[in-house]
Amino acid sequence: MEVDSYMKFLKSKKQNNRLFLFVTAMDQVVIARPNFKINDDCWENLPILQTFGEFDKEYLFDTSVFSHLRNLLDEKKYTFLFNSQSEKNQILEQLGEIQLDNIYIDELNWLKRFGYYYHHTLAIAAFLVKFSQDVGLPQNLTAKLLEAAFLQDIGLSRLPYNVLFSNELFQNDDKLIMDQHTVISYLLIGYYSKKQRKSLGKIILNHHFPEKSLDSEATEREIIWMIYNMGIFDALINNRPFRPAYKPESALLYLKQLNKSLNLGTDIVSWLENKFYIKKNDVLSDFLVPYHPGVKSYQLN
């Protein structure tokens, strides 16, 4: 995949002449860099383009992101996961202790402008904190997982408004543009970070495409699968312009079938099953699954 060819495609679209290239001059240098291929050489060269020094770190507790996380845990649709104040307090305590480079806090603040996508990012992170606490994930794995969860979709803020806020399923050109947000996120991570963050970049690049992670290191693959599953589940239980929210039980049944078809790990699915009473023989029929990045729409039977 060549970023340069993607840029030529976007520039050929009259309605997309003013794109993420013009968000900041810094990002224009990175994203529009000619002849970049998404490979090891690309990753090695990205930090060379930096024109600034080290970033300071911030605790999430000291940011507005934390207050938005607190509000999210109180949303009615999430009571099946966060059903007591003591559980919410435990989740918030762990979230508040997360440290991110201040440039990434800036990126999350920018993502706030895009409503649903910002909310979706926070929901996935909150889900994964609860999951990690329930199943006892190792601390080092949890730290890497949550960092990737918060940064997975920062590239969305560089996509055109007419795509992000479409009232229809993503199709054709819009689908191609939407799918590329993982590439943009990857480039931003590589640009902001040091070379040793390559593992984080690979997770970000493939978090919507778990089938591409089969050759990845085991920890990377596990994180990609967890973010992928949580992302689809949260997307399904939220209202979207092109369809109403699914009941959590229906979203879980879809997720079970998807994991089976892709031969993915089932830890997330098993954990979610414990949150509901799902009859063993429940199936979904004549049910059109909405588009989610990395997932084709198809009929379940």
pLDDT at 161 over 50: yes
pLDDT at 295 over 80: no
pLDDT at 18 over 50: no
Q: Which two tokens stand for residue 185?
A: 């996120």
Residues 163-217: tens digit of each pLDDT: 888 777 777 777 777 888 888 888 888 778 765 577 888 899 888 888 777 667 8
**Bigger pLDDT: 48 or 135?**
135
* Angle subtended at Cα 87 by Cα 268 and Cα 72, rounded to the nearest 5 degrees: 75
Instruction: Report the pLDDT averaged over residues 259-264.
Output: 78
Q: Do 231 and 203 form a contact (C-beta atoms < 8 A)? A: no
Instruction: Report the pLDDT averaged over residues 241-267.
Output: 83
pLDDT at 218 over 70: yes
pTM: 0.78
Q: Which two tokens stand for residue 239?
A: 């209202």
* Angle subtended at Cα 93 by Cα 97 and Cα 255, rounded to the nearest 5 degrees: 95
**Bigger pLDDT: 32 or 265?**
265
Which candidate, 284, 223, 226, 227, places its Cα nearest to that of 252? 284
Q: How confident is the model at residue 147 (pLDDT cuts 50, 70, 90)?
A: very high
Average pLDDT value for the chain: 76
Crossing angle, helix 102-111 and helix 181-192, to 10 degrees? 150
Phi, psi of 140 (to 5 degrees): -70, -35
Cβ atoms < 10 Å from Cβ of 247: 13
Q: Which two tokens stand for residue 98?
A: 């997360």
Which candidate, 179, 127, 186, 124, places its Cα nearest to that of 154? 186
Q: What is the DSSP letter of 283?
A: -
Residues 82-138: tens digit of each pLDDT: 888 999 999 999 999 999 998 899 889 988 988 899 999 999 999 999 999 999 999
pLDDT of residue 17: 35
pLDDT of residue 20: 36
Amino acid residing at 240: R
What gap in Å lies between CA 141 and CA 261, rounded to an integer? 26
Domain boundaries, the chain: 3-247
